[in-house]
Amino acid sequence: MMQTKMVALLAGAALSLGTTALAQSSQYDRAADAERMGSLQSRSNLQSGGSGGMNLGGLVQFRYTANFRSDGTKGADTITKDDDFTHGFALGSTKLWAKGNLDNNLSYAIQGDFATNGGEFRLDDAFLGYKFNDNWSMKAGQFKLPLLREDSVSDQYQLSAQRSVTNEVFAQERSQGVQFAYASDSFRAMVGFSDGWRSANTDFNSSSESDWAINGRVDFKWAGDWSRFDDFTSFSGDGNAGVVGAAIMYQGGQNTGDGTDGTLNTGVGSFLLYTIDAQIEGDGWNVFGALIGSHMDPDASAEDSTNAFGVVLQGGFFFNDNWEGFVRWDAIFADDNADGAANLDPSNFHFLTAGVNYYLIPKKHTMKFTADVVVGLNDTYALRSVIPTSGAGGSDVPGSTPSLPYTDGAILGDIDSGEFGLQLQFQVLF
């Protein structure tokens, strides 16, 4: 216990010293940084608007994580006294990208990410976009389908160090497909045809993708520019902005080739994912909320369908031009029989997150320090094995994995309530 307290004290001291040093450094270099970023932004705008333009960029997020859990045994689950405290450093999101225009209508983007565990470089996005006119456009390739709002906002533009545990459970993530979009001053809509749930980097006969999938999203904006919703932050001095949206994805499977001949495919018949969300911003404050649901209808005989739900509610407020505070509550409401569990208990999981951001350059995400804590409000160990979106007999949607341990979000799973995660993260966006 004394060792744990000592580590916590040392982490606190490091945070205090680091913040002081960053503040002094930012005051000294702020003018030069602002001038440099202004030059880069101008160059980016010129490149992205004309023929042959290219914008090269990247993201580095370096973080310290400490996790505290209960030790002991509950049923078949055990956490030893050597595992009740875990800490260390990691590179969270480390990305490189190239984006631009081949002419006034044809655009492209390619992005890769170095994995946190192992460091291998993997493809995130690779797509072409075409603009038919001021309202209609399309893109084809591999990209994030615009379903969950939290998942669609890029890593560098989140409020907290990482996305919520609820997003980790329900996020569709990337897929390969074609999507058409319509956008006006106050309304936009997108519809796509793809390989479905979490099917990035798969071949056409892969068992890790659906037979077919369709997705759609609509958004209605009553104030602000569309660009205001690229992040969750509303800086001091920004005007009012607001948007409400809804999205749906439906996919079917098990009726076409899956790379294995000679056997009939069984498992997932169909899977439905849906959400409704809203984001409101004002002068230095922001609020976001989302309701999420899924319905899994297995193809396997005698396996019942299941329903799961999620909620995310978060908000932020600027104390001054540099400091932003935020708080988030998210929850997962799983089916009692999800993933073949016999009366899953608990079946509801709640998490509370709070923290601060320090922007070294005001009104820019270029260099940002984040400190946050997340608390599991109940026993969450079941999420290490149970997949809430799965059928009552255990049939999983292709691409599904247990949502815990969620190392990016500092939650490993606890046999009791009160799991505590601390994250200190420094971000450089270039």
Distance CA 75, CA 143 (A): 42
**Per-residue pLDDT tens digits for 120-138:** 999 999 999 999 999 999 9
What is the mean predicted confidence (pLDDT) over 167-193? Answer: 97
Distance CA 94, CA 429 (A): 10
Distance CA 157, CA 159 (A): 7
| Mean of the per-residue pLDDT values of the chain | 88
What is the mean predicted confidence (pLDDT) over 398-412? Answer: 94
> Residues 37, 43: contact at Cβ < 8 Å?
no
Using the predicted structure, report yes or no on whether residue 31 has a pLDDT greater than 50: no
Q: Which residues pair with 245 in a beta bridge?
A: 219, 277
Q: Which of 85-94, 176-185, 205-214 is the least confident region?
A: 205-214
pLDDT given at position 35? 38
| Residue 169, amino acid | V
**Per-residue pLDDT tens digits for 267-310:** 578 999 999 999 999 999 999 999 999 999 988 767 889 999 99
H or E stretch covering 420? strand 419-429
- Indicate the number of domains in the chain: 1
pLDDT given at position 396? 87
pLDDT given at position 20? 42
Using the predicted structure, report yes or no on whether residue 34 has a pLDDT greater than 60: no
Could you tell me the sign of the dihedral formed by the alpha carbons of 226, 230, 234, 235, in that order?
negative
CA of 255: how far to CAs of 270, 289, 295, 327, 424, in Å? 11, 37, 19, 45, 47
Whether this prediction's pTM lies above 0.75 is answered by yes
User: Please, which pLDDT band fits residue 30 given cuts at 50, 70 and 90?
Assistant: very low
pLDDT given at position 13? 39
What is the mean predicted confidence (pLDDT) over 404-429? Answer: 97
pLDDT given at position 289? 98
Mark out the alpha helices in 139-253 (DSSP H runs).
Answer: 149-152, 165-170
pLDDT given at position 202? 93
Using the predicted structure, report yes or no on whether residue 312 has a pLDDT greater than 90: yes
Using the predicted structure, report yes or no on whether residue 261 has a pLDDT greater than 80: no
What is the mean predicted confidence (pLDDT) over 367-384? Answer: 97
Using the predicted structure, report yes or no on whether residue 265 has a pLDDT greater than 60: no
* CATH number of domain containing 248: 2.40.160.10
Is 9 or 169 the better-scoring residue by pLDDT? Answer: 169
Is 21 or 230 the better-scoring residue by pLDDT? Answer: 230
Tokens for 291, please give them: 């309701």
Determine the structural domain holding residue 368 and report its residue range: 2-429
What is the mean predicted confidence (pLDDT) over 74-100? Answer: 95
Rounded to 10 degrees, what is the CA torsion of 190, 388, 160, 225?
20
